[in-house]
Structure 1
């Protein structure tokens, strides 16, 4: 039997090697094909995306070209130059033209055309990087071209100026007969009140490609019929397009609706058939893409076009043509590399598979003789394998462990009886018994007395049914085995597990492989029964212990979940703090830092700490929900801002009534209306201020507090009794307050006596001198239980809670300690009240409820405080703040450590160990997890 199993294992090793090789080849071929298709598609998609980005870039460039000159032209239209009737008068304003030219590299000329045909133009000598007037005198920066009709000057004249507008030379040009009135820019601007933009064209004098912006002079200048113009060059677009090419021979061009090329990455005068193919969308369309594939100039091309938003009347289009061989060159290179690598890997796997097959066979043959001795129950035979094959070596070790396990049966039974966790215990029992019998598969069922069924607890490779039902509790062993045989195939051996009272608690099933072991000897059966009996006792003991522990944990989680469920803004706090605290305790135990060197915790201490962490806020069950959830200053059971809004509405309506009464009485309606509008505006602004103050989102300054009090002094008339429809609590608060006569004058905002709630007989024992205080509390008690005065609440300087409400929230620690101290906890859990109730103490002694210092607090208490603070800072379910990022939270905690709020050593362990990061990955939103420079929080010794 053993020889057959070993032969199968050797064949399996060879089969795995062959299967891996074949699978690798198939996978490689598929991946290479998919990779090529994916890279080809990605390249085409990238080309299409690039075309879209090119269109955006060119649009931005055209807009950047036209915007500054347009602004300059708008200013120029109001210049006195428009009304100058003589050349001398026009020359006085020549510096204005020079300033415009010097302010922009793309403005090549500034000019003005007059209604009588006069013309004056100032042009740069060098434009678009080219010297436009090579015959100009040296040091010439500007050329002035003028046409003047009349005795004031020659009809045509050119003047050459330096950069500082000093005249160098005058030159009559009789042949210069340019008439601005016949030019499109003049005619278009003369009919419009706006700045007009021409289509791109070649300039009259320089031949550069550009556009003209023209605008009619303002009437206030006295220059009726005068038109100003600015020439802007766009010849640099071609050089920019050449720099944006994806491949060396990519063609990019910009054309208008007449397919006139305005800019080209190559030859603007001859863009070639590639651009024409892209514009015509020749060839075949690429499915799912605006790209088309065509042939031109003896090459395959990918073409695409995108409309431009600039100069919409010209319907400009950008066309891109990319050679297919250049676009896919990297794809073919990657395909070749992948093919070579795949071939080398396949060859290596073949050689490795052949080598492993030989290595597996030899040690298994050697183990056959040794295993045959164990099959005859000679457990004193050592099993060794010196093979370098892991499986063969592990098999030898496993067989040797089996022999040792059987020899030490009594010791194993003792270890099983001492198991702590039931699930781990069941796995250990099954594993040990399977090893003892030299098998590999088995399972353990536990009996459910209420449901009269067997539930699968552990299954080791046997694929057992999860539930076997229809089993009465008083069934004998033979009936149980017959039922099991109906549900479990193969050759299993069953051991019935019964407790000390002979009650059924479970069944052990082990699959015996075909061979000699299907016929068990009497000695082996007794051996299995003895182990099963020990296992049954261990299972019974652990079930009792774990059921008690589960009940305790269930009650604790019930309380914690009830606290979290009580408020939608703190949901999960009582669950997250224990997890974080446990993580930090584990790091403190494992730390080699001298501060934590002697620190350790036993299993009972860890359990005590775990319970305290879960119950650290159990006192919140007594905290009023509307105080815990208070998100605005005026909130009680509801947000009282609505009552105040109603009062403002009353004053708003009173202003309307006053206005109408004054009009009816014959007063000046305009004066009355102005007073009404002023009153309304003031009320609206004051209510906005009150509503903003109600949110409590930022620190309130003293002048803001005083303004609230001033606003509140306004009065309104109440015509209805405030003693109707009250609750008993409200009636009691008003019993000593006389009811005023109606109509009663009320302040807009007020602190009223009936808004106070007194402690009465319910004063908590938190003062140090209180004889009931046996827990060492040391807290300051507010004068009132609650103060719901509107001014009192609205003038809270920071946050939304009043002094009374802040105490009520802090009192949850007092209630936590009192509640836990009242429980009959065993000695091993005696520190639970202290551990749970000290997470708001501070290292400097200013915390609560006991005012303890660092000397009074152990490492567990300090850890609990750090965990509570970090969870509160990062929580996203609080009404008064947003969840902070990791860096923000750690910066705040770093300051708290410096101020003696939390322990510095525990905080640095929290950062150094990466606990904050692991917690964040499990519980924080991705947006809160940012990069943290941990060195910022490590203080030198």
Structure 2
């Protein structure tokens, strides 16, 4: 006790606050005063001066170019150029104009617009750009355009001159609609002796932005004008920005960019040949793009942050002339502009470092005293984070909060240790009933209760089903509760609130009343906690039975509530998994039953194969045969095999019914023998018509009638033969095919268009050439429209992702009449046979497309191998025995045996047991099925067990299995 008094404890914030108040006040006072003085002086003295200097320089440079141009316009307005109406008269001024254009590079053209609408312009062609714009010869120096109105209308005449004013080539003439009198530079100076200046605009001919200076001539016959581009402003801006590391742009009142360092961005011709003037956002400059979002104010400095660098600037009004007023936006990086401030900042940093060096010893001593216990606690929390939960020594410190924190961490470690143990036990349990027992057991240990019960909602949510355990781990029977009863248990469930009450022997209606007698007590405390799922829906209740007068401590109650929340989530999840698994199995069985119900030709195949597969897999697991003794099925493998066997033929949903059910050779969606019968009827009618046509002129009418009867009989015989060929049982040998082709060669006359009433897809298959009606048609024909193209070539390509080795026929279907009737045996063409075999391809593709959990990923492998053969001659992947897992080989045996013995397929008679075993023995000998599994199938009696359950008594006969067993095993005892 005395030791604790000597170690006086103070709050942690008092130590830290005292230390940092002294440091912050000292450093803050010195650095704030120094930085304030230096930074303020530099910013306010440098910023405006730099910006004003740039503005003045741009204004000066512009006026240096502008004033000579204005003087030139004034001078020319006083000359007699306004009276020179013809090109000959105007040529007297060519030397003067050439000299002016040559001495003033910003001046691109000098023009004269006359009051009669004529127009004269001299353009400088001093660079390659201007020459290219007007397709001028390489040695051109000046271009003269004269637009004159004559008898033939307005016409432009263009002449090129070299530097010595020698004419180059022949004049160029073209029609022109240009009238200078409509232009602003002309109209604005009428009746005025002052120079007018246009606002900047786009010169279409040279694709640049500029201004036009103009003045009316002294005699008022014409207006003299000079075009002056603003490229020099962009050049000035580019040079100024480079010198100052600044970004500069000149804007007009409409926020259009008038000058920029890259003058190619100032304008853009759009699709309708209209000019779009650039805005700040069009300059491909992140600084101006950011500035585009903020309003530009003349009385407020600008500040933006671009890529982590701060830019500051200003908007200055600039008057280049009396009526040319713009806004100059200048942005400079703060670190460049405030280089002096940076020096001051470095000096401040140096002072700060000096101060810190003096205070380091003090800080180190105090920090050490504070950090030592905190470091130990941090190490302990790090150990907890790594789930190293061994007990740690107590932390002793002068700081009360750190002492309390150490105690809290110790309690947390103990709680986590206990909780993790519970979580591990619960999560490791997979069986739902056992999980319930485990939750009750853990709750009994945590709560020290006399008994714990769990009531869970039934699947139809109409009842609460109980499970109760006492402190001796004995199960106690409780009644099932109907939800609409007035009980505290139902109130806790529906209201989602914890209920606490005292239970006595007199409360005979309480669901837990029978517990009192079992526990040999007259009263008890009952705590009911509702169990909620992730959606905060009630799924049941957790009830604690405590001795009378006893209650939970706050720590116990908090822990129980948290653990009950976890337990409820676990129970809800396990319930959900169980229900979803049940739902999945129902869907799987529903799909299989649907496939069986879809066609009588498959019968109950999809439902019987899983049963036989399971029988044979169980026999394989129990076998001691050398090839099978290592084979064991885990719970996950059983689930995988169960689903795979039910889904092994799911691809049959894609096989057309008329292919699966094809009973005759001409059958598609219907039996086309009826079409052919009608053609034979037509032949008979034609024969009768020929008879009646010949009857009036016949001298031997009895013979004529006899010929008709013979023709009819021949047609009837031919049709009967064709109908016989339509039967799948008819073998088509050479003689039959010869007669069939002979019959097919007969013709009948078609008078109706066979394209009428067809769908667009059928129309596309018809021949392009349309015969003239009436036309002769063969009695039986293979026509182009009978060929249906494939559209699944990627599935069977050499590099297909599924590994299929099947070679598909050229066509999806061939519905040719002669082609189908010529099938040697059965009713299916190669295309239809392939379509039926394709069901396993579709099965694999469908199953592999599903998102399986890890333990079910072998479903496509198990289900997709039942048509493979041990020698690699099966399909669809051509797998060998060593490439197939044993469950796949088991399913192959089951699939074949079920197909041989199935009695519900209308197209074949079911085999007897001995016949089926004999056929499968031959398949074993041909290395088509697994020999070890076939022997197991016989030795284990699986064939007989299946037969007694699924075969009719007439099919079950005696089978001498020793006849079919492999020789080296035929003398061994049966399993």
TM-score, normalised via structure 2 length:
0.46
TM-score, normalised via structure 1 length:
0.48
Larger radius of gyration: 2
